[in-house]
Amino acid sequence: MGEFGIFILFIAFFAVAAYFAHIASKKRREAFEAIASDLNLHYTPTKNRDMAKRYKFLKKLAQGSNRYAYNILSGPYKDHRVLVFDYHYETRSDKNTHHYHFSFFILFLGKHFPELTITNEHIFSKIAQAIGFDDIDFESHEFSSKYTVRSKDKKFAYDVCNSKMIEFLLNLDGINLEIDQDVLAVGYSRKLAPEVIEQHLNRLIAIRELMPDYLFKGE
């Protein structure tokens, strides 16, 4: 096969890949439209770069460049204002550009709080702790072994990670949770299947309801 034949094969391969990607995107949009209808939420399929700028204080949304949200669900849900969306960012090296897509959930708390992150414990968090980035330890060794909890306000961290919250989080496979300013957010490493969006939205609501009421009283 000559160079021209190889070139044609490459063109055909990318054309087929683009076609199937288009079909998958169309099916996902249709599924999100159905979710919006079922949950009485507003749906916007188009890219939204302003949202990426607005919430760049959240660590998971501040990565890379060319950041935008899409397939956005928004509105009131079970007495809380929520946002659910797919998110994109990219990283570049000298030769390659890598694209990342994942699902992200936001619940508005109605009050500003200190920054708090709860993430899966892994080798990099252990290295960070070794060089001075301390995580907060808890009486539950199992919880401290499974999750890295960081906040400049330790009292707030202990208030959020009360015994019921610890029990709830231990029953999960893992989590990437952030509280900052007036939002509670949970991010994922990939785009979730549409059929589990409601389940994960309910999980977010459950986390909010495990935060003590006294945190929301007063100024």
Task: Identify the helix (H) or strand (E) that includes residue 145.
Answer: helix 141-146
pLDDT band of residue 11 (cuts 50, 70, 90) is low
Contact yes or no for 173/74 (Cβ under 8 A): no
Q: What is the pLDDT of residue 52?
A: 94
Say whether pLDDT at 152 is over 50. yes
| 51-104 pLDDT per residue, tens | 999 999 999 999 999 999 999 999 999 999 999 999 999 998 878 899 999 999
pLDDT band of residue 125 (cuts 50, 70, 90) is very low
Closest CA to 115 of 154, 81, 143: 154
> By mean pLDDT, which of 21-30, 38-47, 58-67 is the weakest?
21-30
Strand partners, 102: 87
Beta-carbon contacts of residue 201 (< 8 Å; ≥ 6 apart)? 39, 77, 82, 84, 105
**pTM listed for this prediction:** 0.85
Buried b (16+ CB within 10 A) or exposed e, 83-119: bbbbbbbeeeeeeeeeeeebbbbbbebeeebebbbbb
Count of CB atoms situated within 10 Å of the CB of 204: 21
136: tokens are: 């907060």
190: tokens are: 């990939």
> Which residue has 């490459």 as its token pair?
10
Q: What are phi and psi of 86, to 5 degrees?
A: -85, 150
